């Protein structure tokens, strides 16, 4: 059975699995489901229509499933926040439920959220993503699996950040960021996330070679995005990893409003003496 501290307020309609721990002064509203082994540390608030899977750790002063920060939202509308398994939410993380009636803000599995990070309504956060201190994800953003948002990074609404993207602190994206890239400054790529690619156990040396070539075609061959996609489509033996890059480019090229934001640019860094 669940362990609930006497000072916590848990609605009678909340569904708590075995092994759930609800700490002092927590608030768990109606229509909340907490999976087995999930722990809420002191002063956590879980708003209604929120689901957490198994083995999640929610640290003090987090608010999960709060109302969307959208002036058009009707508070009576039913929308959701759905969170998977094995996630860690450190102090004061906030994630809003969806603004679309019946829709959901979605967090995958084994993500890690550092202090005061935020995700807005209707966002989708992929497995293994790391959201560091004060990073802010706007509404309708998609963060790919294993992406890392460094401190104070901003992602504009309706923007896609691809798989295994690495961002530098204080950078920002209002245009789409392809997989495996290193984002720096505002809407500029500094190159590939070379360190992350080397460390990834599922990315082979051949994969890295193909990703580098796909990046060259897209950003260093003097082609626009449509032309680069046509060139990438001529590649007969492209592996799975590089194909993810190609399909991201296709998605951007064919995007309709309000997702037609284009690709981040490439600005090579000067070599220091």
Which candidate in 80, 121, 156, 176 is catalytic?
121
- 139 catalytic per annotation: yes
Which candidate in 120, 126, 139, 162 is catalytic?
139
- 156 catalytic per annotation: no
Which candidate in 118, 122, 128, 176 is catalytic?
122
- 43 catalytic per annotation: no
CB-CB contact of 15 with 38 (8 Å): no
Token pair, residue 208, equals: 């890295």
Residue whose token pair is 């082609």: 223
Pick from 53, 15, 25, 55: nearest CA to 39: 55
Which residues are the active-site residues?
121-122, 139
């Amino acid at each position: 059975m669940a362990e609930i501290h006497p000072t916590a307020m848990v609605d009678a309609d909340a569904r708590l699995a075995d092994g759930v721990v609800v700490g002092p002064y927590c608030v768990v509203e109606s229509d909340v489901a907490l999976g087995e082994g999930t722990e809420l540390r002191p002063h956590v608030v879980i708003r209604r229509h929120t689901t957490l899977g198994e083995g999640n750790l929610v640290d003090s002063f987090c608010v999960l499933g709060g109302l969307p920060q959208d002036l058009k939202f009707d508070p009576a509308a039913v929308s959701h926040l759905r969170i998977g398994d094995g996630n860690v939410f450190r102090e004061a993380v906030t994630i809003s439920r969806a603004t679309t009636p019946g829709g959901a803000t979605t967090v995958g599995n084994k993500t890690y959220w550092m202090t005061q990070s935020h995700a807005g309504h209707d966002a989708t956060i992929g497995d293994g993503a790391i959201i560091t201190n004060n990073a802010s994800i706007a509404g309708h953003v998609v963060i790919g699996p294993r992406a890392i948002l460094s401190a104070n990074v901003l992602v504009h609404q309706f923007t896609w950040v691809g798989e295994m993207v690495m961002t530098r602190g204080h950078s920002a994206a209002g245009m789409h960021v392809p997989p495996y890239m290193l984002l720096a400054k505002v809407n500029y790529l500094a190159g590939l996330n070379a360190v992350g690619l080397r460390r990834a156990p599922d990315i082979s040396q051949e994969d890295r070679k193909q990703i580098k070539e796909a990046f060259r075609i897209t950003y260093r061959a003097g082609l626009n995005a449509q032309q680069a996609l046509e060139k990438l489509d001529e590649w007969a033996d492209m592996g799975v990893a590089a194909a993810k890059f190609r399909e991201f480019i296709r998605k951007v090229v064919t995007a309709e409003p309000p997702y037609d934001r284009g690709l981040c640019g490439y600005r090579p860094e000067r070599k220091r003496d």
